[in-house]
Structure 1
Amino acid sequence: MVTLEDIADSSLLQKPSGQVAGGVLDRSESNYKSLHTFALEKDRPYQQQFADIYFLRLTKIKPAIEEIATTAWEGTVIGGETAKKVDRVLDVRQGELCWVTGTVYMDMPLKPNILEDVAKDRWISAPTSMQQYFSDDGRDAVMLEDDSGRIRLIGDVLKSFFMVTGCIIAVMGTENANGEFDVIDLKFADLAPQPERWELTEPKSSSVSTQQKKQANAKSNKDEDVEMSDGPSSSSGLGSKKIALVSGLEFSGEDTSYAMELNLLLEYLLGEALDPAAQKELAHISRLVVAGNSIAPEHKTTAEESAEKKAHKKYGYDSRSYNPIPSQLFDEFLSELLPTMPVTLLPGVLDPANSSYPQQPIHAAMLPKSRTYTAIPGTAESGWLDSVTNPWEAEVEGWRVLGTGGQNLDDVFKYVDSDDRLGMMEAMCRWRCSAPTAPDTLWSYPFQEDEPFVMKQCPHLYFVGSQPEFGTRIIEGPDGQVVRLILVPSFSATREIVLVDTETLDVSILKISAS
């Protein structure tokens, strides 16, 4: 781990180097194409059934699983009986060795059930905040279902894998006298086909200076013409580029204990607190990705404050209930940074965006100072400030990147008795689904034509924001796929940001400390 003190140690109070201080900071050019995988239409209906998402997911993933299962189990003989494939859960017969593909459903007493709420005439206005759904008293049950029916799964092999509602699996075994399916083995779809690097974009070989970018934004945000090359190269001899990932900035309207660290983070990214040699290293950072929870949670009012607000309430609305300061502070943070560095902004559960998955981009009206750097309406190119969906998919420096604000992983965490969040990320990749628990316990839009949470292509880099601590892992697939997994820690809790080398996908962690 590298700290800001390590970078600035013995540099701020020393005699300046031979380089000229205060010169133009040459920033590496960002090769970037944001995809619109999770964008929704502005006029979108909500009358349709949510169950269609599961049918779409099963239809898309089932062929890949059946191919793997057929290769592994075809001709398998156990106890003198040959395993056979059955097309539906309803076709499973007692005592027959067979295998079937379906959707997992976790029957858990602690899991919220909207049907029970409706039956009891109990309406809820926000998602439940229960920490865990699993219980260790044996009441949880794993079910496998499709459009024909549902059967309970049992067997010790189930304990070796993460299981959550919505993942698609194939199981081999037999049905016992109790009508339960005793699982001998199971298969996932595993990693999806992975695209080649630079499939959608071409590498750029030039760099853009701070002064040039200010001039460009003053001229209707038109990008400079850049020379195209045939392969990856460093910008202006600066070496490998880096992408900075930060999450959980949580700007607040109240005094916070990490306000100094937020200022130091801004100065670090701007290069204002570093000597010219360190600024040269800093110039390698070609893009900042803000992965959710940029606004702090609302302050919980006391009973006296609530009574006072109610007394001053007029016409059903109290303007004092809205605090504009957090978004203003975040807007100022971005507006100072944007002239020197492009920013990709994902919403999180705390941010001013829709609460259901996939979250749509934070509206530019929330950021009046920073919206100058957004794309010109009607153009296909991304702006210097790219407000995107959560989840988000893009090609950055030639790599296919998938990122989320953290809700998908936080919800999966509630289903399992484990703290291995990287293992859960790996499981989602091998399930080929970035949000398996949607729409059961993770609120989601009721898709009818497509299921965007299915990973049609395997990412090279998969990150999840707003996590308790940093973590990273490399996983490999059966066809040579390699994926870098990253848990991006919440800055408000850890004061840490993540730096990713765009040539090797190596990861380093930087801690901002004012002490």
Structure 2
Amino acid sequence: MPLKVERKCTNYKNCSDKFTCPSTDFTKQYCSIYLARLEQMEVLLMDRIKQKWGNKYPVCKLHKLSEEQYTKCIVIGTLFKDQKLKPSVLKRIAEGNQLVPQPILTHFTDESDVLFMEDEVQRYQLSGIEHEKIALHLQLLTYWISGLLGNTDLISRVCRVVIAGNSIRNKPPKAKPTISLVSRTTESPETIEAVKNFDSFLLKMCQVIDIDIMPGEHDPSNHILPQRPIHFCMFPESSLYKSFNQVSNPYFCEVEGIKIIGTSGQPINDILRYSDITSNLEAMESCLIWNHLAPTAPDTLGCFPFYNKDPFILTQCPHVLFAGNQEQFGTKFVTGEDGQKICLISIPDFSKTFQGVLLNLKDLSCKSISFQTN
């Protein structure tokens, strides 16, 4: 005889009414749902904002940001990611008409992806805080120079560090326009914070080694060449040390009889922009052949209008010619007409590659050192 089991009953209610499509009209645009999403989420977020911060920070609309000039504020908006690999209906149509073949992809993120925040009126591109991205890499560099990491015998023979520009900023500043009798811009809080962080980094370095700080294209110095040394008031702590040296761009020094000259990279980058030369080492070699550090100045590269002299002419042959803020590390030996041996060094952009270059003064050989964390 089969066993009888009584199934338990539960109270049930279907609450999915809001997920029922009100009509079959698909001709409307999607802007309405984005607007509704923003308005409804804003009500929920305002309650959470009051719980977390109270009245500590003002809530600002995106289109009011440039007017209010808050140091810190709260903004509410919809995040949108612009992705070139994202599937597109238009691309599919083009593929169907055999206009543009669509690659088969299963993952659509790319390094070129850009994140935006937008509300009913305005859209802003989000960039994040750059200095936080490289803080750990700078910490590794500090540990290495201090002898806390790596080969201590090798590190003990490192006598000097040259920072070849763009140490405070590696891109144009986010300046806010102001209206007055004279047109000017004011520095953003991010730049001020970057200066403080850089001074703290240099303070640790100056305690163990001599450092030369060159200005770069985007650093707070005059824009045209030659760039003056960054003012010591930017470095209230590290400038107290004798090991701290602000130098010009271009920079020429002599260490143990080795003549070293170079720039923060602007002349080399300008040559690549306005010629058929595609290699930075080739551009540097051309500078040696032309006997000039900045051959495109003042045509396409700004420089001071010197009278009766040109300081960029190479009056003596260096042992080392370097260029900072390049795409990647590279080195090459060039022999001069009189048999001189010149070492060309392409110093990579630290903010992108997290690499430094170690130069051996005995044989002018050099190698890159990585301070990557992964």
TM-score of the superposition, structure 2-length normalised?
A: 0.61
Specify which structure has the bigger relative contact order, considering alpha-carbon pairs within 8 angstroms and separated by 6 or more residues: 1
**1:321 aligned residue:** 188
Q: Give deviations 1:337-358, integer Å, cap 9, x for gaps.
A: 1111000111100111100100
Of 201, 207, 212, which residue of structure 2 is paired with 1:344? Answer: 212
Q: Distance in 2 between matches of 1:479 and 1:428?
A: 17
CA contact (8 A) 2:281 2:331 kept: yes
Of 489, 497, 509, which residue of structure 1 is paired with 2:348? Answer: 489
Of 294, 299, 304, which residue of structure 2 is paired with 1:440? Answer: 299
Is it true that 1:358 corresponds to 2:226 in the alignment?
yes
Matched residue SS, 1:463: strand
Flag structure 1 segments of 5+ consecutive residues without an equivalent: 1-251, 374-382
Of 254, 261, 264, which residue of structure 1 is paired with 2:137? Answer: 261
**2:363 aligned residue:** 504
Q: Which moved more, 1:417-426 or 1:318-327?
A: 318-327
Q: Distance in 1 between matches of 2:277 and 2:301?
A: 19
Q: Give deviations 1:197-233, integer Å, cap 9, x for gaps.
A: xxxxxxxxxxxxxxxxxxxxxxxxxxxxxxxxxxxxx
CA contact (8 A) 1:253 1:326 kept: no
**1:283 aligned residue:** 156
**2:281 aligned residue:** 422
Q: Distance in 1 between matches of 2:131 and 2:263?
A: 28
User: Relative to total residues, which structure has the larger helix share, 1 or 2?
Assistant: 2
Larger radius of gyration: 2
Which consecutive segments of 4 or more residues in structure 1 shift more than 6 A?
A: 313-320
The equivalences for 1:52-63 within 5 A come to none
**1:469 aligned residue:** 328
Tell me the CA shift for residue 407 of structure 1.
0.5
Tell me the CA shift for residue 317 of structure 1.
8.4
Q: Give deviations 1:251-282, integer Å, cap 9, x for gaps.
A: x96554332111111111111234xxx22221
Q: Give deviations 1:334-388, integer Å, cap 9, x for gaps.
A: 1111111000111100111100100011111111001112xxxxxxxxx421211
Matched residue SS, 1:258: helix
Count of matched residue pairs: 244
Of 131, 149, 157, which residue of structure 2 is paired with 1:273? Answer: 149
CA contact (8 A) 2:271 2:277 kept: no
**1:333 aligned residue:** 201
Of 257, 268, 272, which residue of structure 2 is paired with 1:413? Answer: 272
Q: Counterpart amino acid of 1:331? A: D
Q: Give deviations 1:167-219, integer Å, cap 9, x for gaps.
A: xxxxxxxxxxxxxxxxxxxxxxxxxxxxxxxxxxxxxxxxxxxxxxxxxxxxx
Matched residue SS, 2:133: coil
Is it true that 1:450 corresponds to 2:309 in the alignment?
yes
Tell me the CA shift for residue 320 of structure 1.
7.3
CA RMSD of aligned residues (A): 2.3
CA contact (8 A) 1:289 1:345 kept: yes
TM-score of the superposition, structure 1-length normalised?
A: 0.45
Q: Give deviations 1:49-108, integer Å, cap 9, x for gaps.
A: xxxxxxxxxxxxxxxxxxxxxxxxxxxxxxxxxxxxxxxxxxxxxxxxxxxxxxxxxxxx
Matched residue SS, 1:401: strand
Matched residue SS, 1:336: helix
Is it true that 1:513 corresponds to 2:369 in the alignment?
no
CA contact (8 A) 1:253 1:325 kept: no
The equivalences for 1:59-208 within 5 A come to none
Q: Distance in 2 between matches of 1:300 and 1:293?
A: 15
Percentage identity across paired residues of the two chains: 35
